[in-house]
Copies of this chain bind each other. A is one copy, B any other.
Amino acid sequence: MREGPDIARIASLVGDPARANMLNALMGGTALTASELALEAGVSLPTASSHLSKLMEGGLLTLASQGRHRYYGLASAQVAGMIEAIIGVAEAVGPKRVRPGPRDAAMRVARVCYDHLAGEQAVAMLDRLFDRKLLLREDSEIRLSSSGAAHFSALGIDIQARARRPVCRACLDWSVRRSHLAGTLGAAILDKIIAEKWARREKESRAVVFSPGGKREFERVFLA
């Protein structure tokens, strides 16, 4: 019972499912807003806010205020390392893999992440957009190339860079552990997918289900 660093305090911060989901979402290194984290964690905005202030007070997060957006990120690589260590143990002791379930499987393939597409389809799409040089990696940023601007414009997706919100942003995918496309462009693409009826949003879920024809169209346009 002797004193030491308060390890229980830190561990219990990670020990709540909602907070664990938030931290997991932040493991990609990109800072996220409170709303995005609320969606990732599957809790309401007030609840998420409460969790975030606890994580802040615990020193696990940093906060960058930009106007009315507040971007939360992991405080340090040390914190990320700790979470990796916990993930490692969880994987080692929990080979459970309880039957994925159909909704779960659908979620892995494609789902909504805030206002853009996530899941295997989205990750594949981002890869392909890089391959075709429609998007360019710049350090940790993503930029729209001139050919990309023309390409999306031809698809009826016009991005006016007016918004304070970045046009392109990488967003880490929990199921694939790689990035997919967020930002206004990501949102616009999801809008198009829904508008063209290539896919529909599953009720009461984040899953996005493509129709057979819609899937072909999507792949022709974005995965070609």
Q: Which A residues have a C-beta under 8 Å from some C-beta of B? A: 1-17, 19-21, 23-24, 39-42, 58-60, 75-76, 78-79, 81-83, 85-94, 96, 104, 107-108, 172, 174-175, 177, 206
Contact = CB atoms under 8 A, between A and B. Distances in A.
**Chain A residues touching B, majority SS:** helix
Given A59-B93, A78-B92, A85-B82, A7 B14 contact: yes
B10 A86 contact: yes
Contacts of A85: 81-82, 85-86
A11 to B, nearest CB: 4
A107 B5 CA distance: 13
Contacts of A42: 1-2
A223 to B, nearest CB: 24
A169 B15 CA distance: 27
A123 to B, nearest CB: 15
A172 B20 contact: no
A101 to B, nearest CB: 10
Between A1, A79, A90, the greatest number of chain B beta carbons within 10 A of the residue's beta carbon is seen for A1
* Residue of A14, A40, A75, A172 contacting most chain B CB atoms (<10 Å): A14
A1 B172 CA distance: 12
A107 B8 CA distance: 20
B14 A8 contact: yes
B21 A2 contact: yes
Given A10-B89, A89-B10, A15 B15 contact: yes
A88 B82 contact: yes
Nearest to A14: B11
A207 B222 CA distance: 57
B86 A7 contact: yes
A24 B9 CA distance: 13
Given A6-B96, A8-B16, 19 more contacts: A1-B21, A1-B41, A3-B174, A6-B90, A7-B20, A7-B83, A7-B86, A8-B19, A9-B15, A10-B90, A11-B12, A11-B15, A12-B14, A14-B15, A78-B92, A81-B85, A81-B172, A82-B85, A85-B86
